[in-house]
Amino acid sequence: MKIIRNLALATIFIIGLVYTTGFFINSTIPEKEDKEFHKEFNNNYAIYAVSLPENLEFAGEKVPLEFIDIRESLDREILVNTYWQSQTMLFLKRSNKFFPIIEPILKKNNIPDDFKYLAVAESGLQNVVSPAGARGYWQFLNSTGKDYGLEINNEVDERYSIEKSTEAACKYLQESYKKYKNWTLVAASYNVGMRGLDKQLVRQKESNYYNLLLNNETARYLFRILAIKTILSQPKEFGFHYRAKDLYYPIRYNNITVDTSITDWADFAKTHNTNYKILKLLNPWLRDVKLTNSSGKKYQIKIPKENGRMFILPDSVLTDSLKSNQ
């Protein structure tokens, strides 16, 4: 028993010695390492101010960068979007997927190409919902969406269709341009509304967006669009590097015409060799499990080409993925 007790005491002593020694080692060496790390970190880590473009236009209209307030407003948005790297990288990836869809619709409707950056500013090219209830890529409120020809009900909400919502946005932009004859004011009106913009133009006796004192959101709005345009147009200049295969691409699909009621979209998906999830991802404007189509309206339903599933495609196919949908 005495031998066992002595062995136990010896064991406790050794454990204590190791613990104590470790304690002192851990309390001294990491501190030294920590100082060395921070010294090297401080010597190598740097955050840089970004260079503003010498000249900048929005939809062919000059941005007056010679004015201090204009330069500072643009600088703020370029800094925010440059150093919010994850978000801006996602903008770059998604723009490769959605700009080929948006651009021809803008062109067809005689809307300047720069308005594709407005869609990025509005939604990040996602089907998001704002606190005010605006939805989709172009962020239409329920009533506004209906005013510009979108079908919105419990089963169908075309605010979630990239094609239909872009067409509706073009109608708004055309109407606004007829009123203001100025694309910069048109962009501002998309944020604050034509009525809200008119109020400020009359109150301040102005006709130039850059001379208006506006609420913070609208004051920043155009400069955010300009910053997104500047960075996405020359991403490497702002430190964004990627390979072609890192980008997102338009999905290859076939259109199926539906002019009857659909009692169950899951069954419909299985019939067309796909599944409910993929069906809804390709047709996010379908908002219910069924479609009550008593009027016999024709709907175009997208079904993926690759055996009913959205496969990652070879590089040679990715570059031509949009053409194959036309």
- What tens digit of pLDDT does each residue of 247-293 get? 999 888 999 999 999 999 999 999 999 999 999 999 999 999 999 99
Residue listed under structure tokens 């175009």: 300
Query: CA 32, CA 24: separation in Å to the nearest integer?
Result: 13
Query: CA 190, CA 103: separation in Å to the nearest integer?
Result: 18
Residues forming beta bridges with residue 303, ordered by sequence position: 254
228 within 8 A of 81, measured Cβ to Cβ: yes
Query: CA 56, CA 120: separation in Å to the nearest integer?
Result: 18
Residues forming beta bridges with residue 57, ordered by sequence position: 62
pLDDT tens for each residue of 211-234: 999 999 999 999 999 999 999 999
Whether this model's pTM surpasses 0.95: no
Instruction: Classify burial at 59, counting beta carbons within 10 Å of its beta carbon; exposed 0-12, middle 13-18, buried 19 or more.
Output: middle
Average pLDDT over residues 103-129: 98
Residue 99, pLDDT score? 97
| Average pLDDT of the chain to the nearest whole number | 88
Tokens found for residue 30: 């990491």
- DSSP letter at 294 equals T
The CATH class given to the 57-246 domain equals mainly alpha
Residues 6 or more apart in contact with residue 119 via CB below 8 angstroms: 98, 102, 125, 137, 138, 166, 169
Confidence of residue 141 (pLDDT cuts 50, 70, 90): very high
166 within 8 A of 98, measured Cβ to Cβ: no
Tokens found for residue 182: 């100025």
Q: Give yes or no for residue 21 having a pLDDT over 70.
A: no
Greater model confidence, 1 or 42: 42
Neighbours of 190 (CB within 10 A): 24
Q: What percent of the chain has pLDDT over 90?
A: 77
